[in-house]
Amino acid sequence: MPLEPFERVVARYGPAVLRVCTAVVGPVDAEDAWSETFLAALRAYPRLEPGSNVEAWLVTIARRKAIDVHRARSRAPLPVEELPLPPASGTEDDGRSLREALKTLPDKQRRAIAYHHLAGLPYAEVAVILGNSEAAARRAAADGMKTLRALHQAGDLP
C-alpha cells in the first residue's frame, strides 16, 4: 500500500504526538516540539517504507525533538529531581501537577506511561521505542503508575 497523504497522518497522530511532547517537556515547549516533529516527519515522509508503523516512527521523532527543544531552552536537565509543591486548589492545575509528577519518575517509567497511557501505543510498540521487551515496558509503566498513585494518595496530587 502506498503512502497516504500527509494530511491524514497529521490528523490521525497529531493529538498523540502532542500528548507525548507535553508529557516530556510540558505544555509550553510542547508546541515547539510538536512543530519540529511534524516538519521533520514531512521532510522524511516520502522515504518512509510503506507499511511502516507510522505512530511509533512519529513518537520516536517527537521524543528526540522534545529533548532538543528542552535543551535549547537550557532548563534543568530531564528528569526533574524535586517534586513540585502541590497546587493550592482547583482543577486547573491538575494537568500541570500530573505532568510535573511524571517528570519525577525514572526515564523509562515516564516514557512507558507517556507512550502507553497518553499516546495510546500498545506495549509491544512501546518496547520497540524503549529498546526493551514488552514485559519490561509493561512493568515500567506499572511501577511508574504505582509511584503516581502513592503520590496521589499521599495528597501530593489532586
Partner 1 sequence: MNEPLGGSWNAGRHPAPHTPLDAGGAAEPAVLERLHARLVNAAAQEHLLDIAYRIVDTPIGPLLLAASEQGLLRVAYAREGHDAVLEKLAARISPRILLAPARLDRAASELEEYFARRRTHFDLPLDFRLAKGFRREVLNHLPDIGYGQKASYAAVAAAAGSPRAVRAVGTACATNPLPVVLPCHRVVRSDGTAGGYVGGPDAKRALLELEAAA
* Contact set with partner 1 (CB under 8 A): 2-8, 10-16, 18-19, 22, 27, 31, 34-35, 38-39, 42-43, 45-46, 55, 94-95, 98-99, 102, 113, 117-118, 120-122, 148, 152
Q: What's CA 153's distance to the chain center, in Å?
A: 24
Nearer residue to partner 1 within complex by CB, 74 or 90: 90
C-beta atoms surrounding 74 within 10 Å: 7
Nearer residue to partner 1 within complex by CB, 74 or 127: 127
Listed in order, strand segments (DSSP E) in 65-135 are: none
CB of 124 to partner 1, least distance (A): 12
C-beta atoms surrounding 47 within 10 Å: 7
Q: How many whole angstroms separate alpha carbon 136 and alpha carbon 128?
A: 11
Nearer residue to partner 1 within complex by CB, 21 or 63: 21
Torsion (CA) 83, 92, 107, 116 in degrees, nearest 10: 150
CB of 71 to partner 1, least distance (A): 20
Nearer residue to partner 1 within complex by CB, 19 or 70: 19
CB of 58 to partner 1, least distance (A): 11
Question: Cα–Cα–Cα angle for 142, 104, 144, nearest 5°?
Answer: 0
